[in-house]
Structure 1
Amino acid sequence: MGRLLVSTSIEESWGDGEPILFLGEWCREYRASDRWVGLDAEVLPYHWADRAKVEMDRERLWSLHEDLLVAISALLNARHRVDHEVRYWRILVGPWLGFFTQALFDRWSQVQMAVSSGAVDSTIVLEDLPDARVPVDMVDHLWLSNSHQWNHHVVARVLEATTDVPRRLASAGHLGGLMVDEEPSHEGLRARLVDFALRILSPLARSSDVMVVNPCLRSVREELALHLRLRQVPRLYRVGPVRGVDPDPAERGWRLKVADGDPFAECLGVLLAEFLPTAYLEGYRDLVAQAEEMSWPTSTSVVFTSASHLYDDLFKAWCAERVEAGAKLVIGQHGGHAGIGWSFFHHHQLSVADRFLSWGWDAPDDPRIRPVGTLKDPVLPERPEGRGMSAVLVLGNETAQVGSLSSSALSSEFLDYVDDIYSFVESLDPDVRSALRVRGSQHDVHWSVLERWADRFPDVDVDDGRRSILELLSEARIYVTTTNGTTFLESIYLGVPTVMFWDPDRWGILPESRPWFDRLTEVGVFHEDSISAAAHVNSIWNDVEAWWTGEDVVDAVASFSKRFCRRSPDTVGRVAMEIKAAGSR
């Protein structure tokens, strides 16, 4: 007897007591374990648990992305009766195209594995799911890709397009759309300042001014100072939401053909027309018109951003036009991972940038990368009583299903990562463990990490992620980081004693970055397993400062800091210098 293939945690698709094959661990939500523990169910292994396959697929998908860009550029030019270069469409559509292609490949690969197993005899497809829809823009796509409903719909379409697995249609019933906890807004005062500045200063601005949007400097003060260094009237630009339009089925009858004989490319060619955001198709002309309505420089020579080039389609539409007209695009490093690990996000930003401002690292074969130092230039809150007494451990956060490819814990590999953290805590001495404070994420997507933590370690102090990481660092005797992300760059930059540990097979480190991590390993800062890290923390706990200020540690940390989180005596000045240099070429 075969099994019912189940693609998500939506229980309406689980059938009525029949044997189940879950497509992955994301189907079994921890907080709902009472509803699946007793089922006759098996879980399909995850295809990207094999890191050799990740590397192989990375090369395949990076190459396919270039072919897709050429094909979709020609298609969109023809449909919109325009004649833009591939770089224009790379800036506007490239981020979504890469994210969607890699997400679809992930789901497609799991489906092929399930069908090839011979265990699948049918699946249930839910109809009328609110989230089974065309996204408005890139931001909308990112929200939807975390929705079980959207993923159920994607898998259903893959099954229909590429297999003969029998499908049983069922009603979605009472299910509502995706509910996402919004990030706390700090926009009130800033919004009022922006609106005031736009009204008062707009008449004084020049159409040739440098466009600075989302530079990710420390504060508004530094952003205003950057404008003054550029000798232009300070402006604070906001990027608003894209005006949505309804999808038109008559506009979506096309199929994109690339990579003959590639079964995934054939599936992708069919589904692109169904999932392409309306901002790039039905709403494209309105998007361009909305961008032109913004009170932004019309003949700028340089555009500088550290964030809007990925998510903000309104900005990207405006930016693509200006870059095609000759403006230079300067992109600042937004956070960690860049220069240390690899990701599609970083691959994309280097593919569109005329100049990239790194936090310290360079690449001898790419003169566009300019090491200027840590743009955010963080500052610890003052503590009159001196350094705190906590051992602060920050947990990572990954989506249940892959949104785009990177050298990190992918999908259910995250649960193996969580097990490593458990091993670390269980290996701590009692006095260290009693001082432990664990910071989770307020944006935990489906893995219920804080609930798992409370059940496993009810005695450990847990922060839910709403407090500033800088506040927690100010309270730390020692800071323990567990992912190849951003926070250890901030702690090292700020001089907070730091211990780092992660499995490099799960959180990859680029070969060219290895020498700096090897030096940290020699002095106990970086560890490749949790037991070693815990033993080191135990050994230095009674005198962390003596270890951290030792000559060998200071030298290794200083070398690492210079490479990956450099402190500049004049961050704003360095950024202004690089912007001016880009504009003069």
Structure 2
Amino acid sequence: MSERAPRLAATALTGYWDADGENLILGCSCLRASKAEETGRFQTRLLSNPWDEPGVETATLAAYDVSYERMLAGLSASLDRFHGHARGPRYWRIVAGPWLTAYLTTLCDRLLVAKAALKEAPAASFEAPSPLPPARDTAEFLARLTTDDLNQRLYGEVFRFLGLPVIGRAAAYEPPRLRPAWKTAASDAAASLAQAARRLRAPEAVFSSLYMPASDLSALCLASGFRLQPTLGRISTPPDSATGDPRRATLAETETSDELERLAWTLMPAHLPRILMEDFAAAAAAVRREWPSPPRAALTSVGWLLDEHFKLLAAETVSSGGRLAIAQHGGAYGMFDVLHNERHERAIADEYWTWGWTEPSSRAAPARIRPLPNPRLSRSAKRRPEDGWLLVTHALPRFGYTFYFCNVPVWPRYPEYLAQRERFVAALPEAERARMSVRLPVEDFGWDMSTRLERRWPGLHLEAAREPLLERAARARLVVIDHPQTSWLECLAAGVPTLLFWDPMLWRMRPSALGAFEALRKAGILRDAPDEAAARAAEVMKDPEAWWDSSEVRSAVEDFRAGWARGSRDWAAQWAAAAHELTEARP
């Protein structure tokens, strides 16, 4: 009798695991704390992750960079041919680049992991449903990427490409929830008001998705004398058709000798969003009707990623000789060693408005850097501290390198970040642990953070991050933050007593930022080890305000803010002036 082949387990969907044989676990994304009892009934073995092999990350990212540029050029040519107009690579880098980045990054990771699994077990089996119909747009595609369902299907496609006979299975699919009708109605009403305002005064420049509240958007419009106005258009996509454009199939015929590129072209007919194919002509025509003469400049913070209307308008703007500026929207920018979304933003923009840092432009990131104060960093917290203190946490999708390559932290070591958080909690004196609240992300992507903490510390106070951070932080005597994303910069800028800790080997910084972090370490604001941070928190909690007001800490915070978290009461005037200069600089 032949030995039973092991089953490859690529997701936490245990219905695809083998109940009677060995299951080879492809990564930490398969093992959920909330399903520990269920998965414990299976025979499992966690495979080593190929990203941990020496030199793999450097070589893979270098090869990815070459593949991305070749694929962008090939996709641009195909889309120009399909849509009958030579728009060129920059146009498609703006419109299709965010999707291509997520698509190719995801395939790069899944291909690397799948090949390593087959090297370990070449006779293994895998079971998966059929691929899904194409997503409507980039937003739906990215929403799918975070799910076990999509990744089970995607791994099936990758294993088939590698020659593994995949066991098929019918499976229903629950699509992402549609936008609530009231939100659509509100957006449409706001768009109508914006169009009416443009009839009263045509703007020099437009903005969208600036990642700030309505009060700040109003202040910006006023400061510019309404020369800068919002564009609030929305792409209305028709219902999905049972039949797609037959030209999709020709994408799979693209010839290349590179394995990642062959995989990406082979699978592309099933994954290219409809907004770039079937729905593109109508969407582009709608934007041109709304803007027969494109604005002289366009500005966004996050619209470059999911706002299809803004991407089309921005592409039309630069194609007609206008300018595009992107404003930094959160932490990590200018700091992280690997951050491909920053690189994309700086590749498509003429100017990149930072929170204070600067870097030389490069061929891969040619945008001119303009440091400006940000409204999110321009307000002090209205302090009314109570007795307790706050631990602020972080979550990322479970599946490796979803959306783009970045070390937040280095994949596949995210469970080490979760473990360090628990080391911090364990090292606290019991009295301080009782006074602490743990602020957990509303969406934790299946990491089951509350389950992990509650099992170890029943009664630990947990809260979902629904209240705005600075409002919640204002009531905390001390805020401790375990990751270098956006929260800590906002708290430092708002004057909230803030203690930081993270492992610098997990959250790697680029050389130009290392000195700034070392200064925070010397001032006792940043700790690398969770047990050291716990001891520091207990000491600081004796009098957080006195610690925060000490000359050493205050000087370190002020110096750091000047370069990385700049704020100003006249930020709106500075932004308005920068936007006006942008329109004047047009060729």
Change in Cα spacing, 1:48 to 1:391, as seen in structure 2 (3 Å) is farther
Farther off after superposition, 341-350 or 546-555: 546-555
- Other-structure match for 2:165: 166
Amino acid at match of 1:399: P
Change in Cα spacing, 1:249 to 1:150, as seen in structure 2 (3 Å) is farther
Cα separation, 1, equivalents of 2:300 and 2:521: 35
The question of whether the paired residues in 2 share the 8 Å contact of 1:395 and 1:438 is answered with yes
- Other-structure match for 2:390: 392
Cα separation, 2, equivalents of 1:328 and 1:41: 55
- Other-structure match for 1:228: 222
- Other-structure match for 2:6: 3
1:257 Cα deviation (Å)?
7.7
Aligned residue for 1:506, secondary structure, equals coil
Amino acid at match of 1:472: R
Cα separation, 1, equivalents of 2:487 and 2:261: 38
- Other-structure match for 1:327: 322
Change in Cα spacing, 1:398 to 1:166, as seen in structure 2 (3 Å) is same
- Other-structure match for 1:117: 120
Aligned residue for 1:376, secondary structure, equals helix
The question of whether the paired residues in 2 share the 8 Å contact of 1:216 and 1:375 is answered with no
Aligned residue for 2:124, secondary structure, equals strand
Amino acid at match of 1:270: T
Cα separation, 2, equivalents of 1:420 and 1:104: 29
Amino acid at match of 2:9: V
Cα separation, 2, equivalents of 1:407 and 1:239: 34
1:531 Cα deviation (Å)?
1.6
Cα separation, 2, equivalents of 1:13 and 1:104: 21
1:67 aligns with 2:70: yes
Cα separation, 2, equivalents of 1:142 and 1:324: 27
The question of whether the paired residues in 2 share the 8 Å contact of 1:3 and 1:119 is answered with no
- Other-structure match for 1:272: 268
Cα separation, 2, equivalents of 1:521 and 1:51: 29
Cα separation, 2, equivalents of 1:433 and 1:158: 46
1:232 Cα deviation (Å)?
2.8
- Other-structure match for 1:177: 174
- Other-structure match for 1:214: 209
Aligned residue for 2:326, secondary structure, equals strand
Cα separation, 2, equivalents of 1:86 and 1:234: 28
Aligned residue for 1:289, secondary structure, equals helix
Cα separation, 2, equivalents of 1:331 and 1:373: 14
Cα separation, 2, equivalents of 1:391 and 1:154: 43
Cα separation, 1, equivalents of 2:188 and 2:133: 35
Cα separation, 1, equivalents of 2:195 and 2:6: 64
Change in Cα spacing, 1:257 to 1:422, as seen in structure 2 (3 Å) is same
Cα deviations by residue, 1:126-157 (Å, 9 ceiling, x for unpaired)? 24x7xx22111110111111121211111111
Change in Cα spacing, 1:454 to 1:241, as seen in structure 2 (3 Å) is farther
Change in Cα spacing, 1:553 to 1:22, as seen in structure 2 (3 Å) is same
Matches within 5 A, 1:403-552: 403=402, 404-410=404-410, 412-552=412-552
Amino acid at match of 2:162: T
Matches within 5 A, 1:133-144: 133-144=133-144
Change in Cα spacing, 1:466 to 1:237, as seen in structure 2 (3 Å) is same
Amino acid at match of 1:562: A
RMSD of aligned Cα (Å): 2.6
The match for 1:300 among 273, 295, 298 is: 295
The question of whether the paired residues in 1 share the 8 Å contact of 2:378 and 2:494 is answered with yes
Cα separation, 2, equivalents of 1:570 and 1:87: 34
The question of whether the paired residues in 2 share the 8 Å contact of 1:67 and 1:258 is answered with no
Change in Cα spacing, 1:200 to 1:159, as seen in structure 2 (3 Å) is closer
The match for 1:29 among 32, 39, 42 is: 32
Cα separation, 1, equivalents of 2:54 and 2:479: 29
The question of whether the paired residues in 2 share the 8 Å contact of 1:290 and 1:314 is answered with no
Cα separation, 1, equivalents of 2:84 and 2:208: 30
1:467 Cα deviation (Å)?
1.9
The question of whether the paired residues in 2 share the 8 Å contact of 1:257 and 1:266 is answered with no
Q: When the two structures are superposed, what TM-score results if normalisation uses the length of structure 1? A: 0.92
Cα separation, 2, equivalents of 1:234 and 1:197: 15
The question of whether the paired residues in 2 share the 8 Å contact of 1:258 and 1:265 is answered with no
The question of whether the paired residues in 2 share the 8 Å contact of 1:4 and 1:120 is answered with no
Change in Cα spacing, 1:229 to 1:185, as seen in structure 2 (3 Å) is farther
Change in Cα spacing, 1:413 to 1:185, as seen in structure 2 (3 Å) is farther
Change in Cα spacing, 1:290 to 1:455, as seen in structure 2 (3 Å) is farther
Aligned residue for 1:477, secondary structure, equals coil
Cα deviations by residue, 1:282-336 (Å, 9 ceiling, x for unpaired)? 2210121232344x58331111111111111122112101111011001111111
Amino acid at match of 1:229: A
Farther off after superposition, 527-536 or 330-339: 527-536
1:569 Cα deviation (Å)?
3.2
Aligned residue for 1:150, secondary structure, equals helix
Amino acid at match of 1:67: R
The question of whether the paired residues in 1 share the 8 Å contact of 2:228 and 2:576 is answered with no
The question of whether the paired residues in 2 share the 8 Å contact of 1:51 and 1:505 is answered with no
1:258 Cα deviation (Å)?
7.9
Cα separation, 2, equivalents of 1:265 and 1:196: 43
1:8 Cα deviation (Å)?
1.7
1:18 aligns with 2:21: yes
1:37 Cα deviation (Å)?
0.3
Farther off after superposition, 472-481 or 348-357: 472-481
Matches within 5 A, 1:323-402: 323-341=318-336, 342-365=338-361, 368-377=368-377, 379=379, 382=382, 386-401=384-399, 402=401
The question of whether the paired residues in 2 share the 8 Å contact of 1:147 and 1:178 is answered with no
The question of whether the paired residues in 1 share the 8 Å contact of 2:28 and 2:415 is answered with no
1:107 aligns with 2:127: no
Cα separation, 2, equivalents of 1:262 and 1:434: 56
1:115 Cα deviation (Å)?
0.3
Amino acid at match of 1:330: A
Cα separation, 2, equivalents of 1:548 and 1:120: 60
Change in Cα spacing, 1:457 to 1:258, as seen in structure 2 (3 Å) is farther
Cα separation, 2, equivalents of 1:181 and 1:318: 24
Cα separation, 2, equivalents of 1:51 and 1:291: 48
1:215 Cα deviation (Å)?
2.2
- Other-structure match for 1:44: 47
Amino acid at match of 2:32: E
1:210 Cα deviation (Å)?
1.1
Farther off after superposition, 87-96 or 27-36: 27-36
- Other-structure match for 1:205: 201
1:46 Cα deviation (Å)?
2.5
Change in Cα spacing, 1:25 to 1:148, as seen in structure 2 (3 Å) is same
Cα separation, 2, equivalents of 1:167 and 1:273: 20
Aligned residues: 573
Cα deviations by residue, 1:357-376 (Å, 9 ceiling, x for unpaired)? 11111114577111111232
Aligned residue for 2:167, secondary structure, equals strand
The question of whether the paired residues in 2 share the 8 Å contact of 1:72 and 1:256 is answered with no
Structure 1: give runs of 5+ residues left out of the alignment: none
1:47 Cα deviation (Å)?
2.7
Cα separation, 2, equivalents of 1:45 and 1:178: 32
1:186 Cα deviation (Å)?
10
The question of whether the paired residues in 2 share the 8 Å contact of 1:71 and 1:256 is answered with no
Farther off after superposition, 489-498 or 563-572: 563-572
Amino acid at match of 1:74: A
Change in Cα spacing, 1:195 to 1:111, as seen in structure 2 (3 Å) is closer
